[in-house]
Structure formats: structure tokens, C-alpha cells
Amino acid sequence: MKPRTLILRTAGTNCDKETAHAFELAGATTEAIHINRLLAEPGLIEGFQILAFPGGFSYGDDIAAGKILANQISHHLRDVLRDFIAAGKPIIGICNGFQVLVKTDLLPGDIGGQGSSIRTGQTATLAHNDCGRFIDRWISLAPRKSRCIWTQDLPASFELPIAHGEGKFVPADESVRQALHANEQIALVYAKADGSPAGGAAPANPNGSTDDIAGVCDATGLVFGLMPHPERYVSPFQHYAWTRQTPPPEAGIGLRVFKNAVQYAKSGVGAGV
């Protein structure tokens, strides 16, 4: 049985079809549902095993990127999503979806550890890029040892495209930063082409993110947010230099992210499949 993935969309979402395609290639079925329908029928989410917040410009990024959708989630769907996570079901937020998740309390989430918290409310944000402009290009990434189920078995260095103007990950304070490291919640970092650390310097770190952070997970490892777009590199032909890749890969490395979640859901660990 294929896990069912809910692709949550709203006004301004524009990466929902690519995200659905990636999950379908990974072995899931998908259904795109508008936020208004989920607000009217929160129980719909119980029929799904995976939830995705795709990229785009939800509500035109008015106020701040992802902020309006984050407020809807926080005020109306907080308990529903917490129950979803408690049932062992994975959630991903890509680019604008990542911005949404960090502007709720779902990411980084309970960074104090199980049953404790060093800080309540929003504990991080995604601020304007240091360069002050929108960036649309490919970047190098490196996975970090983490509890994230989405980033298991990724290569030591790989490339994905980015496209954002507000991608600078900033923890609320030093205690949050230290907790993210100690709790192994930093899943991906920006790196140089050879896989060595970006060291906070552009262009390897494209936006000025603290500690080169490109993606984080919550304490369960189920909720994952990242600024790069894995759904835009699921086929080898999507790479800018695909004609020079020898031997050509069977798939784009982004597909591994979605396969990890699908395989996790198929394992039936609290996922109800």
C-alpha cells in the first residue's frame, strides 16, 4: 500500500505540482488540498501519512515570508499537526514551507529535549539574505549527523537549487543555537564545492545563515525544513551539467529525500499504513 501524502497549498503556492511529482516518483500517492478546506475539515489530515508544505510565495509573502500561513497554522491547526507528529508521521517544509514551519512552533520545536524547553514560542526565523536580493542558483550542501529521517544516506556533498530572498536562518539566541547542535537537529549545511564547510562566507553560504544552516529538523526527526529545493532535482536531466555527468546518475539526489520519508511511512512505525 502506498503512503498518502497531503500537499498543502494556498494562494501563492507554486511548487505543489513538482513536490507531488517527487513524492509519486518516490512511491507515494498525493493529493493537493487548499488550506481553506483543511481549516473547514481538520479531520481530513488523519487519512494521510505524510504532509508537505511546498515552496512558493504564500499570500505574496506579505508581512514576511510565510508569516500569514504560519499564523493560520498556529491559531487553527496547532493541535491537529501535533497529533500528526505524535502518530509518527513525517512533515516537510521546502523553501516557503520552511519559512512557514519556523514561524510556527513546529521547527525547531522542542529544542530543550523531551519534556523540557529552553524557550517557548518561535525560536528561529528566516531573515532577508545578507546580499539584500533574491538568489536563484545551484549550491553545494553537506548533511550533518542528525536525527532527521529525511536526510539519511545522503552523500557527503551534493548540489540542489535554491530560489529565495529570505533564507538566512537565525536562531533566536545563543542558547537555541547551542541546543540545535547538542540535540543533533541541524540536518543540512551549505558547503563549498569540495564539501568543506562554507564558513559563513558567500557565495558558498548564499544568504548568511548562522553556522551555514540550510535545513533543520525537530526533536523527533520527523519534521524537516530546508531552503534548497530537492523536488527540483529528482531527474538527472534537471541538473545544469547533466550532459557532462559520467556516468549519469539514475536519479537526481533530491529524490532520496522523498524516498526516505516514503520508506519510513511504509515501515508502519505509527504511520497507519
Predicted local distance difference test score (pLDDT) of residue 1: 85
Nearest alpha-carbon partner for 87 in 273, 270, 210, 272: 270
Which segments of 13-160 does DSSP mark as H helices, in order?
Answer: 16-25, 35-40, 67-72, 78-86, 96-102
3-class state of residue 231 by DSSP? helix
Please tell me the predicted confidence (pLDDT) of residue 269.
Answer: 54
pLDDT value of position 112? 60
Asked about 128 being catalytic, the answer comes back as: no
Please confirm, yes or no, whether 231 is among the known catalytic residues.
yes
Q: Is 148 one of the annotated active-site residues of the chain?
A: no
- The ranges assigned to domains in the chain are 4-266
Beta strands (DSSP E) in 60-157 are 91-94, 124-127, 135-143
Q: One of 15, 95, 148, 217 is an active-site residue; which one? A: 95
pTM of the model: 0.94
What pLDDT sits at residue 9?
97
Q: What is the pLDDT along the chain (273 residues), one digit of tens a residue?
A: 899 999 999 999 999 999 999 999 999 999 999 999 999 999 999 999 999 999 999 999 988 999 999 999 999 999 999 999 999 999 999 999 999 999 998 999 877 654 445 556 799 999 999 999 999 999 999 999 999 999 999 999 999 999 999 999 999 999 999 999 999 999 999 999 998 999 999 999 999 999 999 999 999 999 999 999 999 999 999 999 999 988 888 999 999 999 999 999 998 754 444
* CATH assignment of 4-266, among 3.40.50.10440, 3.40.50.880, 3.20.20.140, 3.40.50.720: 3.40.50.880
Catalytic residue among 15, 18, 229, 239: 229
Q: What is the pLDDT of residues 81-112, one digit of tens each?
A: 999 999 999 999 999 999 999 999 899 987 76
Active-site annotation holder among 148, 164, 231, 239:
231
Whole-angstrom Cα distance, residue 16 to residue 242?
24
**Residue in 77, 71, 12 with CA at minimum distance from that of residue 51:** 77
Q: How far apart are CA 55 and CA 12, in angstroms?
A: 9
31, 44, 159, 243 from 182: Cα distances, Å: 37, 36, 26, 41
